[in-house]
Amino acid sequence: MSTVVLHPALLALDPEDREEVIRRRAENLAADTRRGLLAFPLALAIVVGSAEDSYRLGGFFLASAAILLTSTVFRGVLAWQFKRFFPASPDRWRLLFESSLLISSLAWGIGTGLALVTTGFSTASFLAVTISTAFLAHASSMYAASLRLLSAYIVAMTTPMAVALLVQNEIGAGLPGIGGLCFLTYIWAHGRAQHEATWKSAVDARLLEFRNRELTEAHASLQATRDALEEEVLIRTKDYERVAADLRQSERDYRVIFESVHDAILIFRPEGEVILKVNRRACEIYGYSRDELIGRSVVTFTLEPSRGKRRIAEVLESGGPLAFRTRHRRRDGQEIDVAIIASTLEYRGEPAILSVNRDVTEELRNQELRLAKDTAERANRAKSGFLANMSHEIRTPMAGVIGLSDLMLKTELSQRQRGYAETVRSSALALLEVIDDILDFSKIEAGKLNLERTVVDMADLVERTVEILQPGAAAKGIALQLHLDERLPGHLVAPSSRLRQVLLNLIGNAVKFTEDGEVEVRVDMTAADAELARLAFTVRDTGIGIPQSVLPRLFTPFTQADASTSRRFGGSGLGLAISQQLVALMGGKIEVDTAEGEGTRFHFELTFEVATAPDETTASTYRLGRANARILVAEDNPVNQLVILEQLGALGFYAEAVADGEEVLRAVEAESFDLILMDCQMPGLDGYETTRRLRDSYPERLPIVALTAHAMKGDRERCLDAGMDDYISKPFTEARLEKTLRRWLGQKSPSTPPVVAQ
């Protein structure tokens, strides 16, 4: 049950707010009460102080005073402890408060009424009535919130006084009664006005507070929105900056790529072929600046503008890519070959053509050069092949000439006949030498000459070489001297036959071109350690010398100092060219010092490996039991057959000849032989195949020595691969034949057992 009558203004509030406003009113009431707590005791003291004992000590009065003070103290407790009691039960608090207030006002009213009855118009009753009016005036403000309370307060305080006045008849109810009523009417009117104002202002305050809160909240949310917006703006700004930076970077990247491409890139408009964009390479290829190129027609470059335009039309029609080659003219007039790939594209919203042009001038030139080089190499190989074949074809009949002249010289001949036969022989040998030179030269040129290195005694090699030329020099009355460094290592690894060939050529020339005086050959060691030795070879003569004008082409093939030389001294003009190339292959260079009429000095230096042990193969000894050895000769050329049979007979062998491989197989089947001399090239079954068959059919290894006119590298390997044991190249001398036979028949002789211990 609520003790509060709601003022209509409160209806504008929510129930919660309404409660709050009512609570605050009560709180205000408690605060006002605390402030005015001494009002009743003080007023009581004033009235009591001014009254006579009869009144002051009256039983009723004392009782009223006691009630007044007690109820006032009680209200004081309610006011002071508002926070504790009110929330627990607002209705009870209000009931207790209002009850004690009404008791106080009633007690005061009774006290005042008693003063009037007991003392009449005394000082005490005057003060009591006056103070009562003050209380009532004050109450009209203080308790206006509840009109019911205010009314009860007025009634409680004024009723005892009105009764007292009526009892005091002599005073009458006339003037004071009318004044009192007027006052009460005022008090009531004032109370009502206060009542309205109180609630209106309370509700307004609450509403204001409410609005204020709303406003604050709105402000806060506005602030938050603004913050969020600011944040967003910041992020967007940063994003934008990053995107802009990315864009700038990628723009730079594309430009770098566009400008660094190795081909010219041109973008042009189809109408008028106007160039819109080019890269740096385009400027380089065509020799124009960028400004000059932009706005120019691409047809400027083409040698045939009509064809250029036709190409553009084709690209437009097909869209491309269209690849073609053409020639363009640079700004400086130079013509270049270009490979073009063109296609259409959209450039800045307009149709355009993209052309990627590559300068292939150099490439084409290289291709042509390569082609020319290939052709030249093929021709050179063909030439080498031809030379090798030719020399083979010549060597075969030469073998016959030399062999037969050898045999002829062994027969009874007149002086004149002997002279002819010797000339035939020496001419054939000279011709053979020329052929060998040509062959060597073509081998070197074709890069087919491999130096075969063996272990040699260098001093021995040089001595023997000089020995060969000694008779010629002696015949001319020239001193041929040899000086060998004493410190020469015992054995060296060297391409001995080629070194001998060079020395023979140089010493031979020296002897040939010296009429009197001397030829000196020197070998000096210029440097050495445990593994390598560097040797200097010098051939010096006191001959005719070489004219300065000839020196530059001295080592070029087929040249001689002057045309008359060849007639006077013979020679092909190949010797020095070959020697120089051989020395170069060995890692050196021939130098020449000469003065016309005074002599010539040839000099070269080479480094060789020092060998630890001598070559074993040269150390073997052979014994030959000629009468017991039977030799089968396989040779299809009848002249050569005759020569070999004669040579073998002269050496004391029993020999039989057959003309092809089939006959060899048959002969071996029928008789036993100790060795076969096998020509490699025979009609039908050739030497290689025959050997293979023999090796397959007979477990016992019969020595087979190849006879071949092929002097090219690889022949030896081919023969050995086929199963042959050795190799003699045609034409050969009797001495060479004997040496080889000795090697293979030495240990075969039953009459002379091998020296080797069993």
**Residues in the chain, total:** 758
Which one, 499 or 576, has the nearer CB to ligand ADP?
Answer: 576
Which one, 336 or 561, has the nearer CB to ligand ADP?
Answer: 561
- What would the two tokens of residue 742 be? 């000795």
What span, in angstroms and rounded, lies between the C-alpha atoms of 707 and 44? 172
Which one, 10 or 574, has the nearer CB to ligand ADP?
Answer: 574
Q: Check: CB of residue 546 under 8 Å from CB of residue 592.
A: yes
Our CA angle for 473, 475, 479, nearest 5°, is 40
Nearest approach in angstroms of CB 577 to ligand ADP is: 6
Nearest approach in angstroms of CB 544 to ligand ADP is: 5
Which one, 140 or 465, has the nearer CB to ligand ADP?
Answer: 465
Which one, 359 or 520, has the nearer CB to ligand ADP?
Answer: 520
Position closest to ligand ADP via CB: 571
The number of beta carbons lying within 10 Å of the beta carbon of residue 586 is 18
The number of beta carbons lying within 10 Å of the beta carbon of residue 39 is 16
Which one, 574 or 633, has the nearer CB to ligand ADP?
Answer: 574
Name the helix (H) or strand (E) containing 536.
strand 532-541
Nearest approach in angstroms of CB 569 to ligand ADP is: 7
Q: Which residues bind ligand ADP (CB under 6 A)?
A: 505, 509-510, 513, 541, 543-546, 554, 560-561, 565, 571-577, 600
Which one, 490 or 573, has the nearer CB to ligand ADP?
Answer: 573
Nearest approach in angstroms of CB 599 to ligand ADP is: 8
Nearest approach in angstroms of CB 461 to ligand ADP is: 20
Cα four-point dihedral sign 554, 557, 561, 566: positive
Nearest approach in angstroms of CB 571 to ligand ADP is: 2
Name the helix (H) or strand (E) containing 534.
strand 532-541
Which one, 44 or 432, has the nearer CB to ligand ADP?
Answer: 432
Side chain identity at 197, as an amino acid letter?
A
Specify the pairing of strand 335-347 against strand 322-329: antiparallel
List the beta bridge partners of residue 539.
521, 602
Which one, 191 or 508, has the nearer CB to ligand ADP?
Answer: 508
Which one, 6 or 551, has the nearer CB to ligand ADP?
Answer: 551
Residues 6+ apart with CB under 8 A from 746: 621, 622, 623, 624
- What would the two tokens of residue 1 be? 């049950």
Which one, 285 or 590, has the nearer CB to ligand ADP?
Answer: 590
Whole-angstrom CA distances from 521 to 470, 615, 705, 747 are: 12, 26, 37, 40
Which one, 600 or 740, has the nearer CB to ligand ADP?
Answer: 600
Interior/surface letters 651-673, b for 16+ CB within 10 angstroms, e for the rest: bebebebbbbbebbbebbeeeeb
Nearest approach in angstroms of CB 403 to ligand ADP is: 25
Residues 6+ apart with CB under 8 A from 550: 559, 561, 562
Which one, 482 or 651, has the nearer CB to ligand ADP?
Answer: 482
Residues 6+ apart with CB under 8 A from 588: 604, 605, 606
What span, in angstroms and rounded, lies between the C-alpha atoms of 75 and 39? 12
Q: Check: CB of residue 660 under 8 Å from CB of residue 684.
A: yes
What span, in angstroms and rounded, lies between the C-alpha atoms of 678 and 631? 10
Nearest approach in angstroms of CB 518 to ligand ADP is: 12
- What would the two tokens of residue 25 be? 């009113």
Which one, 180 or 575, has the nearer CB to ligand ADP?
Answer: 575
Q: Check: CB of residue 303 under 8 Å from CB of residue 335.
A: yes
Which one, 86 or 513, has the nearer CB to ligand ADP?
Answer: 513
Whole-angstrom CA distances from 391 to 385, 386, 670 are: 10, 8, 37
Which one, 478 or 694, has the nearer CB to ligand ADP?
Answer: 478
Nearest approach in angstroms of CB 496 to ligand ADP is: 21
Interior/surface letters 400-414, b for 16+ CB within 10 angstroms, e for the rest: bbbbbbbbbeeeeee
327: three-class secondary structure by DSSP: strand
Nearest approach in angstroms of CB 574 to ligand ADP is: 6
Nearest approach in angstroms of CB 551 to ligand ADP is: 10
Our CA angle for 31, 34, 40, nearest 5°, is 135
Residue 635: phi, psi to the nearest 5?
-155, 125
Q: Check: CB of residue 133 under 8 Å from CB of residue 85.
A: no
DSSP characters over 103-166: HHHHHHHHHHHHHHHHHSS-HHHHHHHHHHHHHHHHHHHHTTT-HHHHHHHHHHHHHHHHHHHH
Q: What residue spans of 261-304 are helical by DSSP H?
A: 280-286, 290-293
Side chain identity at 33, as an amino acid letter?
T
Which one, 489 or 545, has the nearer CB to ligand ADP?
Answer: 545
